[in-house]
């Protein structure tokens, strides 16, 4: 299974930008596991051309699990606490 398969199952996640994502051909499990696997996911996100859109999606949907835009849930939570509403 790849992220493309995930977008097929959950069309609300899909958008024009997802097709340019660095994770498109990756196993989505690495974005929803902890430890060393999270480091691998974050490394993929570092050079992703649509990282900002992915992070925005994760923040807007208050995603509780996974790496979104290169950030863990705790990192996203800290980011929203620092940002004005």
Name the binding residues for [4Fe-4S] cluster.
Answer: 23, 45, 48, 54
Collapsing DSSP to helix, strand or coil, 48 comes out as: coil
Q: How far apart are the first and last CA of the chain?
A: 37
Question: Residue positions in the annotated binding site?
Answer: 23, 45, 48, 54
Q: How many whole angstroms separate alpha carbon 42 and alpha carbon 74? A: 14
Q: How far apart are CA 51 and CA 57, in angstroms?
A: 10
């Amino acid at each position: 299974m790849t992220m493309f398969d995930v977008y097929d199952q959950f069309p609300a996640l899909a958008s024009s930008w997802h097709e340019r994502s660095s994770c498109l051909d990756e196993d989505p499990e690495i974005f929803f596991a902890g430890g060393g696997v999270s480091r691998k996911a974050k490394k993929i996100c570092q050079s992703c051309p649509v990282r900002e859109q992915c992070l925005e999606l994760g923040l807007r949907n208050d995603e509780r699990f996974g790496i979104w835009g290169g950030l863990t849930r705790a990192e996203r939570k800290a980011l929203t606490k620092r940002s004005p509403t």
